[in-house]
Structure 1
Amino acid sequence: MRFSIALIAASAAAVQAGVFTQKNYDDISISGGVAGNAEQEALAVFSALDMNDLASADEDDIDFLKSVNSICNDAEDEAFNPAIDAASGDEADAIQRGKIKNKVLKLEATIIRLMIQQAQGEDVSDDMATESKKLQNNIQQDEDEAGNESTFLSFDATTA
């Protein structure tokens, strides 16, 4: 009997359950503050995931990462772009920096999702190359503006 319970417990521990919980966009947004550290801020949002065991990631985690991408796209289209169009000067620049940080968050979610899919045996090399190039471009834009104000924009959306 003890052997069976121990075996079941060990088997259950070997399967990584979904580590992410439903979040509001405002709770995961990194758009505010200052520019320059978007990559680290984005990675912190996803720090609950064991990056050393991506093959064991749960489908719920993949869905969460997909939904982060989706709500960040929506925030860009429905919040950042209209706000940038309505602003000028320093205000528009600060909103643009927030938009870039939002893009870094979106693209980090995409890269991590692709890394999981790759670890689970899917061939995503073409997508990985395309998305990595976009991510590096946005990280560079963020770093080029390091220390400058970045505007947080509230957006009503929720992850899966």
Structure 2
Amino acid sequence: MYFSKALILAFAASALALPQGVKPQKRAGVLTATTYDNFQVSDGVAGNALDEVNAKFPIDQTDLAGVDPNDLAIILAARVTAEAAETDTGGFNDAIAAAGSSTAAGKALQVGKIKNKVLKLQLEVLGLQIQQAQSGKDNTAKIAAEQKKLTTNINLDKAAAGQTSQSVDFTGDDDA
């Protein structure tokens, strides 16, 4: 009789020790809001744009559910700014048109535009993945579509490895 009571108590204690609905642990933010010229990756040379983006936005991609909400806001705002640097007045499209796409300056701006697209698309994919991990909203189709574009631009960047890359003087920030 004593043995069975002890066994039952041992099972009860072990059941209470099991994790109950483990929630993702939120981490402190790792990003700080800054201006486009501080987070852009278009200067320098082509070939490592994705690594440059990941260095500027060092998010732990193994625990997206735990990403700080402020970091997510910065990622989303930076993506919008990177897109604006491509298409808005004074952005890459205007600069390439003004320089001429066949000139050395125009070619360097085109290489920079590809690196900027890697920035924009990596932030888009990362933002969608974080939102999906945190909310449970299914972003799978959108992630796949944006990942396909990202892969295309990563390959273009790698194909241009070593070529001069030029950014644009664009005003914007990643402050949410």
When normalised by structure 1's length, the TM-score is: 0.86
Higher relative CO (CA 8 A, sep ≥ 6), structure 1 or 2? 1
**Whole-angstrom distance in 2 between the partners of 1:152 and 1:15:** 35
Once the two structures are TM-superposed, the CA of residue 117 in structure 1 deviates from its matched residue by 1.8
1:112 is aligned to 2:126: yes
Runs of 4+ in 1 over 6 A off after TM superposition: none
**Which deviates further from its counterpart, 15-24 or 93-102?**
15-24
Tell me the SS of whatever aligns to 1:76.
helix
Question: Map of 1:91-130 to 2, 5 A cutoff?
Answer: 91-120=105-134, 121-130=136-145
Query: Which residues of structure 2 form unaligned runs of 5+?
Result: 1-24
Match of 2:48 in 1: 37
**Which deviates further from its counterpart, 14-23 or 91-100?**
14-23
Once the two structures are TM-superposed, the CA of residue 112 in structure 1 deviates from its matched residue by 1.0
Tell me the SS of whatever aligns to 1:138.
helix
**Which deviates further from its counterpart, 16-25 or 26-35?**
16-25
Identity %: 42
Once the two structures are TM-superposed, the CA of residue 27 in structure 1 deviates from its matched residue by 0.2
Once the two structures are TM-superposed, the CA of residue 65 in structure 1 deviates from its matched residue by 1.1
Tell me the SS of whatever aligns to 1:155.
coil
**Which deviates further from its counterpart, 75-84 or 56-65?**
56-65
Match of 1:9 in 2: none
**Whole-angstrom distance in 2 between the partners of 1:63 and 1:108:** 15
**Whole-angstrom distance in 1 between the partners of 2:72 and 2:161:** 31
Once the two structures are TM-superposed, the CA of residue 19 in structure 1 deviates from its matched residue by 2.4
**Whole-angstrom distance in 2 between the partners of 1:15 and 1:62:** 12
Q: Matched residue pairs, number? A: 146
Amino acid aligned to 1:97: V
Deviation digits for residues 95-115 of structure 1 (CA, Å, limit 9, x no counterpart): 000011011011111111112
Greater Rg by CA: 2
Query: Which residues of structure 1 form unaligned runs of 5+?
Result: 1-13
Tell me the SS of whatever aligns to 1:69.
helix
Once the two structures are TM-superposed, the CA of residue 18 in structure 1 deviates from its matched residue by 2.8
**Whole-angstrom distance in 1 between the partners of 2:141 and 2:155:** 21
**Whole-angstrom distance in 1 between the partners of 2:137 and 2:68:** 15
Deviation digits for residues 57-114 of structure 1 (CA, Å, limit 9, x no counterpart): 1222221111111101111123211110011222111100001101101111111111
